[in-house]
């Protein structure tokens, strides 16, 4: 029995990959990461929007494509492989899912249709729900939000913020509202931006259904984790491809280093370690839409296992390149750092394995 991506999913994935290859080579990524080329970054975002990724998970009734998470995971793999500098996990995955499962019919009509028309974009700050800090607390009451939340994702091009408190209640804040202070967070991954947001008596539109159930935030977290794992999967495959290509070109002692048994074993090891992650992520994405009982468990497994394997891949792939692997000239560190940040995004492997154990009553 074959379990993998459909022709339509592969077609969508290949279109994104081809677009990034044509419009975002490494030289462009370097300039964007160092804030030297805002125009190219904007062009990339417009191009990705033209491909329809902002509409992937927006229901057809609201003007979107109405596709499933397996499509989103396939796209995320291409975005990770191309170290794309565009928002996705929060803006176009977690936000629409939060609205689909946590908003009233009226709120869905307003926000989802505006998303489909690319008139609003969301950044997402759910860290208070799964990993708040001692000096950070969000309170939502009387349609006002106070406190601060860290590690808000997908801030580029955002017009609204989707914020959760520790109880899983979700609300939408317009970034034009008063009482908002936004602070840049510096991370190792320069291909994406992260913020810290402070609120003081700021107006918030509480998602109606999210006040009665935690289903919305659990769904959004599970989807975000699976897609983050797919992003790391794509980045890991890119590092393997670069390591293999380099081993066929680099010579020592008048022989290409790929002919040495030690290098062969290193490359073979990371290929064999990464291969099962494909089916694991695909199954987790499939379970998200078809198997409510195993949804959280599979999301935790996919994210935690892929994070560990991707870390190993990035380490060995860099070692295959020798000293060149650490240089900015080669640029391998962009994939390396993206994998490292994805490992902790929406929960580290340790946190996720604890959640997986609890979900099984252990």
Q: Which of 100, 116, 132 is the last residue of a domain?
A: 116
Q: 353 and 225, same structural domain?
A: yes
- Distance between CA 163 and CA 13 in Å, rounded? 30
Domain count, the chain: 3
Residue 335 lies in a domain: yes
Residue 94 sits in the same domain as residue 146: no
Chain segment 264-292, per-residue pLDDT in tens: 888 899 999 999 999 999 999 999 999 87
At residue 136, the pLDDT reads 67
pLDDT beyond 80 at 83: yes
What is the tens place of the pLDDT at every residue in 153-167? 999 999 999 999 988
Shared domain for 220 and 242, answered yes or no, is yes
CB contact set of 159 (below 8 Å; sequence gap of 6+): 119, 120, 121, 122, 174, 175, 176
The answer on 345 and 284 residing in a single domain is yes
Using the predicted structure, report yes or no on whether residue 233 has a pLDDT greater than 80: yes
15 and 82 share a domain? yes
Query: Taking 80 as the threshold, does the pLDDT of residue 172 lie above it?
Result: yes
3-state helix, strand, coil in the chain (%, to 5): 60, 15, 25
**Is 53 found in the same domain as 13?**
yes
* 2 found inside a domain: no
Across the chain, mean pLDDT equals 90
Residue corresponding to tokens 């793999």: 77
Note the pLDDT of residue 300.
95
For residue 134, pLDDT over 70 is answered with no
Q: Are residues 62 and 175 in the same domain?
A: no
303 touches 347 (CB < 8 A):
yes
Same domain for 148 and 199? yes
pLDDT score of 211 more than 80: no
The stretch 173-198 carries a mean pLDDT of: 92
User: Helix axis angle, 261-290 relative to 215-249, nearest 10°?
Assistant: 160
Residue 232 CA, distance from chain mean position: 8
Q: Which of 136-140, 283-287, 352-356 has the lowest mean pLDDT?
A: 136-140
Structural domain includes residue 95: yes
Domain harbouring 240, CATH code: 1.20.140.10
pLDDT tens by residue, 31-43: 998 888 788 889 9
pLDDT band at 248 (very low <50, low <70, confident <90, very high): confident
CB 319, CB 332: distance < 8 Å? no
- Helix axis angle, 7-23 to 38-50, nearest 10°: 160
Confidence of residue 4 (pLDDT cuts 50, 70, 90): confident
* pLDDT value of position 133: 66
Write out the residue range of the structural domain in which residue 174 sits: 122-211
pLDDT for position 40 = 86
């Amino acid at each position: 029995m074959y379990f993998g991506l459909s022709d339509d999913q592969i077609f969508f994935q290949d279109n994104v990959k081809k677009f990034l290859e044509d419009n975002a080579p490494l030289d462009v990524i370097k300039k964007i990461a160092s804030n030297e080329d805002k125009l190219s970054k904007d062009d990339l975002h417009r191009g990705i929007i033209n491909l329809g990724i902002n509409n992937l998970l927006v229901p057809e009734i609201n003007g979107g494509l109405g596709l499933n998470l397996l499509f989103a995971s396939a796209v995320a793999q291409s975005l990770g492989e191309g170290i794309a500098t565009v928002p996705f996990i929060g803006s176009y995955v977690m936000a629409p899912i939060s609205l689909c499962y946590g908003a009233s019919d009226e709120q869905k009509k307003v926000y989802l249709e505006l998303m489909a028309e690319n008139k609003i974009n969301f950044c997402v700050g759910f860290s208070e729900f799964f990993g708040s800090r001692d000096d950070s607390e969000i309170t939502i009451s009387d349609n006002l939000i106070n406190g601060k939340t860290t590690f808000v994702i997908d801030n580029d091009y955002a017009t609204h913020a989707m914020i959760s408190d520790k109880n899983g209640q979700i609300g939408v804040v317009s970034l034009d509202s008063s009482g908002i202070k936004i602070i840049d967070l510096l991370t190792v991954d320069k291909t994406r931006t992260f913020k810290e947001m402070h609120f003081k008596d700021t107006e918030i539109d509480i998602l109606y259904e999210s006040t009665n159930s935690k289903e919305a935030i659990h769904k959004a977290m599970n989807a975000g984790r699976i897609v983050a794992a797919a992003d790391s999967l794509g980045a890991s495959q890119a590092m393997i491809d670069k390591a293999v290509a380099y081993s066929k070109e680099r010579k020592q002692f008048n022989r290409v280093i790929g002919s040495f048994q030690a290098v062969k074993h290193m490359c073979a090891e990371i290929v064999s370690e990464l291969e099962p992650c494909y089916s694991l992520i695909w199954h987790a994405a499939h379970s998200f839409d078809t198997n409510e009982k195993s949804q959280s468990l599979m999301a935790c497994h996919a994210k935690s296992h892929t994070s560990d394997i991707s870390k190993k891949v990035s380490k060995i792939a860099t070692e295959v390149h020798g000293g060149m692997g650490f240089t900015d000239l080669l640029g391998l560190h962009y994939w390396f750092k993206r994998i490292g940040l994805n490992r902790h995004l929406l929960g580290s492997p340790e946190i996720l394995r604890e959640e997986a154990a609890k979900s099984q009553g252990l």
